[in-house]
Chain A
């Protein structure tokens, strides 16, 4: 069953670990071309849901649909191949590779990823051509994120904030349909946060869909068109930030925490 215009649909997702049910009947939809936020207090099941969607876990029950096709239980690389790409909460940079190498790694279906094509002299020429094309794209993307001056630094030498930018830039190189960002602003200073958000908004304007998992309520409320609130493994509320702010159940769940 497809719902046109909704790239991501989660249906009655359930995830059990031993005796613990981390996610218990979660369902929501992410609309095309939106910046949607997924929030909830600690232990709400956000990360688990995230990992179920991206194939890190196979859910105990329920379904995940991406662009109308079921992706429940597929392997992470298969899901990424379909255009649903995630970033990591603690930026996982390939430290002993340069920023440039990190970026060149990302694009999908590279001709040179075939062993034969890379080695056989005649076929390698085509790989070289493709590499040149990718190189140009990388420069463009690095410039968009204003980290082009770091192009040949080892990713391990980057600051935390720079890594977050690289993380997003790299994800973009995969030519995704939708991006799942796992706490992209965690531990980022305000200036950089602003820059990141600007980029995200710019990309959304170009047609990318985003689902942001975040801890910082304020940021989500200010930036997302739609917000999904999770609590104790279930969806508590869904809607525009204004509605969510007034929602009794949400206020209860966040008792004591600033909304």
Chain B
């Protein structure tokens, strides 16, 4: 029964959207926008509020998109079960933060380097961490690798939280993670106002926004949103380049049957190390640009839960497919994450909702449910995950195996036209 329902839904989707990846993404985000707008109107938001809501959703989607793409490189392409995503995000963000933070403790202290250098430093640190993780784990079974990466992710988080590293003197310079208090550093989101002022005529955006009811901080927020989306697109481009190449071919082969890849002369260990490094660098960058966008993070920003959410998003979209990764990111962050939260925050008369479940049973059960939708959505996600594993482990697009070659393999037959 569920088979036919899923089949029908997929068919309708396919007819609506055709086979264009861009259209699929567009339709999905459009759908989320629509639902969000309707809800926002129902909640009594004005234009500025609606725009801000859509902005927040897009930021979420872009952030998840970047991370899911990075994880797709590891898990979807190469079959490396890395569930330490949060840890690598943390390393990338924290190293960038420390490199760019001003030397005064505020909390946490840094070297005050220019941001682009700090970003490269963060990505490099994450990549190195990835290599160090992968080296001993090259021959490990998938589930052992999973456990190792989770353990490592926790070690990283605990180290960040610990007071020992809150303040460290290295060669006369004091740097620190800030321990439990976190670290402050120049906010990536400031890049938006910098960009607006840099581009000639950019500042016209402010009065233009005001005219429509969009406040100034929202305007800068929108510009930063576009920056994030641009980065997500860049991640997507990079992954397509990697996937559709001989390098990507070997990755696929490693995922399918590593023994065959080595029997054909490929040094699979080098490939795994490289892919781990690149993926972790991307995770580090994504962490900084998205979770670290406000210029402050602490250990709570990188709890292991984040890794599992990224994982769920990847599975929903379809591991192995880049477009699927983006779709999964949008659906998870928008439908499963943001919207329930939005409903809960805007449609609950907080004073009247029952405090506990037992009270709710004799009183306003619906009110309790809505007030606690935060918890319920995770229950739903858990159930969804089980359902996916049982019925459709390939997610939405995972079955679509994008050919791993730099050219269209269907062309070039003697007598046919050479079309690439």
Q: Which residues of A contact B (CB under 8 A)?
A: 54, 75-78, 80-81, 85-86, 88, 92, 94-98, 100-101, 104-106, 108, 110-115, 118-119, 124, 127-128, 131-132, 135-136, 139, 151-152, 154, 170-171, 174
Contact with A along B232-271 (1 / 0, CB 8 A): 0000001001100111111011001101111111111000
Q: Chain B: which residue is nearest A112 at the CB level?
A: B246
Measured between C-beta atoms, what is the minimum distance from A24 to chain B in Å? 26
**Measured between C-beta atoms, what is the minimum distance from A245 to chain B in Å?**
34
Complex Cα distance, B257 from A139, in Å, reads: 24
Tell me if A98 and B409 are in contact (CB < 8 A): yes
Given A97-B253, A110-B246, A135 and B264 touching (CB < 8 A)?
A: no
Within the complex, what minimum Cβ distance (angstroms) separates A120 from chain B? 9
Report the separation of the CA atoms of residues A118 and B414 in the bound assembly, to the nearest whole angstrom.
26
User: How far apart are the CA atoms of A171 and B265 in the complex, in Å?
Assistant: 10
Nearest chain B residue, comparing its CB with the CB of A143 = B414
Task: Name the residue on B nearest A80 (C-beta).
Answer: B265
Give Cα distance in the complex from A72 to B123, angstroms: 40
B150 within 8 A of A: no
* Residues of B in contact with A, size category: 35 or more
User: A residues within 8 A CB of B405?
Assistant: 100-101, 104, 131
Asked whether A92 lies within 8 Å of B257 as measured between CB atoms, the reply is yes
Given contacts A92-B260, A96-B256, A131-B407, contact A77 B245 (CB under 8 A): no
Question: Contacts A75-B262, A80-B265 given: A94-B241 contact, CB under 8 Å?
Answer: no
Other A-B pairs beyond A77-B265, A85-B265, A113-B266, 11, CB < 8 Å: A75-B267, A77-B261, A94-B260, A96-B401, A100-B403, A101-B405, A114-B247, A115-B274, A118-B406, A128-B406, A139-B414
CB-CB under 8 A for A85 and B242, given A100-B409, A101-B249: no
| Residues of chain A within 8 A of B401, CB atoms compared | 96-97, 154
Q: Which of A88, A136, A171 contacts B412 (CB 8 A)?
A: A136
Cβ A76 vs Cβ B406 within 8 A: no
Known: A94-B252, A124-B406, A136-B412. A76 touches B262 (CB 8 A): yes
Taking CB atoms, residues of chain B closer than 8 Å to A139 are: 412-414
Rounded to whole angstroms, the CA-CA distance of A115 and B277 in the bound complex is: 11
